[in-house]
Amino acid sequence: MKFYFPDSQDQVSPSYDFPNDEHSPFRVRQRDDLYAHQAVTPAPYEGILVSKAIVDGSAKGAGKYTTPQRERLYRLGVRDFFRLPKEMSSLGDCGAFNYIDEEIPPYSVNEVLDFYEGCGFDEGVSIDHVIFGYAPGAAESDVDQAWVTRRRISLKLAEDFISAVEARGNKIEPLGAAQGWSPASYADSVVRLQEMGYKRIALGGMVPLRTPEIMDCLDKINEVRDRDTNLHLLGITRINSMEKFFERGVSSFDSTSAFRQAFMDERNNYHTADRTYTAIRVPQVDGNPMLKRLILAGAVSQAAAIKGERECLQALRAYGKREAKLPEAVAALDNYLTLVDETKKQKYLTSYEETLDDRPWEDCSCLLCKALGIEIVIFRGSERNKRRGFHNMTVLEAKMRGLQFA
């Protein structure tokens, strides 16, 4: 089972100064910053996925790449741009969720192939159009006709895509994108894609589905899937079901879930083999909008906030080095968070104490936890938060490695 990590230009600076919370004045991001496959060993994924919408933009506006980054990607190619190891694959797609509100996808087949060829991808997904809902027992005549139209658009573009790949003599491996609103409609899409000549098929639009619903779709697809057809799950992890997915023809998947939980989830920020922990929020006085408003309004003393922040970080670091006891660290944290947000303090403080008491970073063998110690569980700024996301992916990689894929 192969895991692809969707790129959004997530890198970390190896020279970042954590005690002073500042970057080196000599840092050059595109030269010095590291991707996850450079920051941890072994690499936490077997390939990267890059969306055209992220690089070139879409109907929603500009992508996440600056103009110089975009030009450098096209100039260097995906392998050199991302400094990919020889064994790592590159997969391109269109980023269908970025144009989900449009009536038709904003790209032509030739534009997408120009992107794939121009960047030198190993594999590329045909253009698809996401269907908004799921109605497992519904026939084509019973559902919103926009769903029917979107499936037809996806299939027509897939047909044009594989024909254009063949006509251009392109070496890229094509993946046909299947959309549906039910097990039967997904299975029918797979049948049609196989008839077009696709040996790899990407199942799109399943992110909102519950695991049993995904399994129902895979069971129905398996009834019509050629034995040499491999499936890719777009945006799906579901680690506890991976072996069952594999049995039903899934050979690869992509997801940012483990990474994004590090800084987007309310509580499940730091992953271990058997559970998750809540990262400890220590807002920056000069970077937290709520705290800045309170200071400007005179509700919080800036001097008191700076003092509380400094003492909180000192206490946490001393605790991490076993130079302070748990009650001291919790007291300093309590004092600072009372100034910042009393409501959030009451919501999270017990979870923070549990994280500190268990010291999970000490049991982790990943390079980031060994290097950073307690800093890895402090929720504060992108350098810590992204590193915690990279750590989470190492946990996912280890879990995948431990599964038995026959």
Catalytically active residues are 93, 254
- DSSP output for 21-83: TB--TT--HHHH-B-HHHHSSS-S-SEEEEEHHHHH-BTTB--SS-HHHHHHHHHH-HHHHTT
Residue 375 has, within 13 A of its CA and on its CB side, a CA count of 19
Say which residue the tokens 């990919």 belong to.
84
How far CA 365 is from CA of 192, 250, 362, in Å, comes to 46, 30, 8
- What one-character DSSP code corresponds to residue 286? T
Give strand pairing partners of 252.
2, 232
- What one-character DSSP code corresponds to residue 250? E
**Dihedral (CA of 176, 182, 183, 189) sign:** negative
Burial 204-231 (b: 16+ CB within 10 A, else e): bbbeebeeeebbbbbebbeeebeeebbb
Q: Residue 276: which of 267, 286, 264 has the closest Cα?
A: 267
**Dihedral (CA of 97, 98, 100, 104) sign:** negative
Burial 24-34 (b: 16+ CB within 10 A, else e): eeeeeeeeebe
